[in-house]
Amino acid sequence: MEYRADIGVFGGSGFYSLEDNVEEIELETPYGKPSDKISLVEIAGKKVAFLPRHGKKHQYPPHLIPYRANIWAMKMLGVKKIIGPTASGSLKPEIKPGDFVVCDQFVDRTWGRKDTFFEGPEVRHISAAKPYCEYLRKIAIESAKELGITVHENGTVVVIQGPRFSTTAESRWFSSMGWDVINMTQYPEVVLAKELGICYVNISLITDYDAGLEGRDDIKPVTEEEVYRVFRENNDKVKKLIYRMIEKIDVDYICEE
Ligand SMILES: [Zn+2]
């Protein structure tokens, strides 16, 4: 496969295209087909590949997304840095719907997902102590500030299996652990990228307060409609942030880790 892109972008729920009328390619990987065709665009002189992780029609629920095929396809195109925005819930009152969180840690509560490329004969154990790229995180935070977006510079995302949302008890537990946001797709996307040596950054767009907040009867449990509504309202903000980040990213920058 010839080199076609430097930066990869995964669209989350409610985010299915980056630009209209662009070249699209269909790829086949050793792990099957990615979620959809991949669009290739040039932004600020940089080659960008875009893939909606749920598919354009949102046909893949979080637990059935072909994560390995998606990451492998990005690698096939030559991608070295990935921006992975997601719709996420907040587990803390101070993290409000419409805010962005640039996560630096995750807690995996998923099960049964294919979460490694190393199933033998080659076996590897990658470090996950710092799963997110610090270089890209810095760029995301800087860019958000420049655009006047409320951004939380650190955050632990607890990744649940879905497709259902949390019970009140689960949500209370996650909050009491000090975790910040909740989502269904960050795992294994981030670690698969790391296995292939691709830098990865998550931008969690907060759409809701999970199952509500303790002692706050005015904050209602999340519904699907609410997630999409808030995401639609903030879609432009997400795209602006991604464009600003792409302008700033030095595609040849080599990270320490
Ligand atoms: Zn990096």
pTM of the model: 0.95
| 99 given a catalytic annotation | no
Burial class (CB in 10 A: 0-12, 13-18, 19+), 33: middle
- Rounded to the nearest angstrom, the distance between the alpha carbon of 201 and the centre of ligand 1 is 8
Confidence label for 257 from pLDDT (cuts 50, 70 and 90): low
Q: Which of these ranges, 16-30, 99-113, 130-144, 145-159, has the smallest mean pLDDT?
A: 16-30
Q: How far is the CA of 6 from the centre of ligand 1 (A)?
A: 13
Assess if residue 183 is contained within a domain: yes
Spell out the residues 6+ positions from residue 227 whose beta carbon is closer than 8 angstroms to its own: 13, 14, 87, 207, 208
Residues with CB under 5 A from ligand 1 (ion): 133, 135, 199, 255
Q: Domain with 12 in it: what CATH number?
A: 3.40.50.1580
Contact 98, 90 (CB under 8 A): no
- Total domains in the fold of the chain: 1
- Tell me which residue range forms the domain holding 79: 7-248
Q: What is the 178 CA–ligand 1 centroid distance (Å)?
A: 26
* Contact (CB, 8 A) for 240 and 15: no
Q: Which residues line the annotated binding site for phosphate?
A: 13, 53-54, 86-87, 185
Decide if 1 is inside a domain.
no
In whole angstroms, what is the distance from residue 13 CA to residue 10 CA? Answer: 10
Distance CA 45, CA 67 (A): 28
Per residue in 189-231, pLDDT (tens digit) is: 999 999 999 999 999 999 999 888 777 888 888 888 888 888 8
Find the helix or strand (DSSP H, E) in which 224 lies. helix 224-248
Q: Is 250 a catalytic residue?
A: no
168 part of a folded domain: yes
Q: Can you give the length of the chain in residues?
A: 257
The active-site residue out of 208, 217, 236, 252 is 208
